[in-house]
Amino acid sequence: IMVVNQPPSRFVSLSYLSGGRAKVQFSAPAGPTYIVAASTDWVTWESIGPAEDQGDGTFAFEDETSAKFARRYYRIYQVIGQ
């Protein structure tokens, strides 16, 4: 997991749920939209969806397709210009 362009952001956890789904959690300032991107090779990244604000200073995203991959890396970026 890599949190980019957000010094105050911090990785909280990565857990696996039923069906092989991965749940990514991180802390970040409230307000902006954060997008989760995934890669299998650290070179090609695909935006896979927005993280959900949990209301306690953390954000979460469940990757519904993570079970399809032997290895998957994640990074989070803030949407600029909202």
Walk across the sheet containing 10-16 and list its strands: 10-16, 22-27, 58-63, 52-53
Return d(Cα 45, Cα 48) in angstroms, integer.
Answer: 9
Residue 9: its pLDDT value, please? Answer: 80
Q: How far is CA 80 from the centre of its chain?
A: 16
Comparing 71 with 7, the larger pLDDT belongs to 71
35-76 residue pLDDT tens:
999 999 999 999 999 999 999 999 999 999 999 999 999 999
pLDDT on residue 74: 94
